[in-house]
Amino acid sequence: MTILFSDNIICPREIRPKNLSILGRRKIQSESIIGSSSGKFFDRGNRVFEISFDVERMHKNPSEAQNFGLGHLCFVHALSPADLQIHSDFVGKTAPLKIRFAEASLSKVSCQIDADKTTFHYEFYASESEEMQ
């Protein structure tokens, strides 16, 4: 799986994202008459996708991990909002799936540096998604 943000690879194919979660929500409005046992529900059309995942990378040494961690943190934060793309891998005869979340906003990014390893946690919000060809 590959994940791109503003056409920059933030999770390369050779690194599997951890804890990938995609949650879709829609704003539903309810309306009922006082004293009535039933009501009506209306889809207001307001929808949001919450996408979160972790990316763990190994580095040659602790200095490289620190430099990458701090540099990447500043770099990726400056890209928002931008398109977020998730490309699945080719599995057997099943073609890879590519999903684009248009104008995704990076709501949270954190970096944990542990010796020669960096772990990034990303959280995005987007209102539109589409399958790419």
| Measured CA angle at 123 (ends 16, 89), to 5 deg | 30
Stated pTM of the model: 0.82
For residue 89, the model assigns a pLDDT of 81
The contacts of residue 128 (CB under 8 Å, 6+ apart) are 101, 102, 103
User: How does pLDDT run across 17-71, given as a tens digit for each residue?
Assistant: 999 999 998 777 777 777 667 777 776 667 899 999 999 999 999 999 999 999 9
Q: Does residue 118 carry a pLDDT above 90?
A: yes
User: How does pLDDT run across 65-83, given as a tens digit for each residue?
Assistant: 999 999 999 999 999 999 9
For domain 2-27+44-132, which CATH number applies: 3.90.1070, 2.30.30, 2.20.28, 2.40.30? 2.40.30
Spans of all domains in the chain: 2-27+44-132
